[in-house]
Amino acid sequence: MRCMEMRGGTTPGPWRYIFSAGVAKRSLAIAVVVGCLLSITNQADVLMQEGLTPRIGVKILMNFFIPFAVSSVSALLNRNST
């Protein structure tokens, strides 16, 4: 309901909603926590042995991007279900 009030009764589009301050901030916080845990769990041994390679860098970035995307889509779906 609150997002409908933001624009005079119209619901913002999905991209605008996902990147709105509240949703983006919450999704980013989740991505940082989950991304750090996943990176430490899955890549720490490889980083110790091989160092940071482009392949490992992409994997680490994905550890942050995927939780951000899942959290954002969840927020969007939750908005549409109420």
Look at residue 4 in the predicted model and tell me its pLDDT: 45
CB atoms within 10 A of CB 27: 21
Look at residue 80 in the predicted model and tell me its pLDDT: 73
Look at residue 9 in the predicted model and tell me its pLDDT: 59
Q: Tell me which residue range forms the domain holding 14.
A: 2-81
The predicted model scores a pTM of 0.80
Measured distance CA(46)–CA(59) in Å, rounded: 11
pLDDT digits (tens, 9 = 90+) for 1-17: 444 444 555 778 999 99
Q: How many domains does the chain contain in total? A: 1
Measured distance CA(36)–CA(42) in Å, rounded: 10
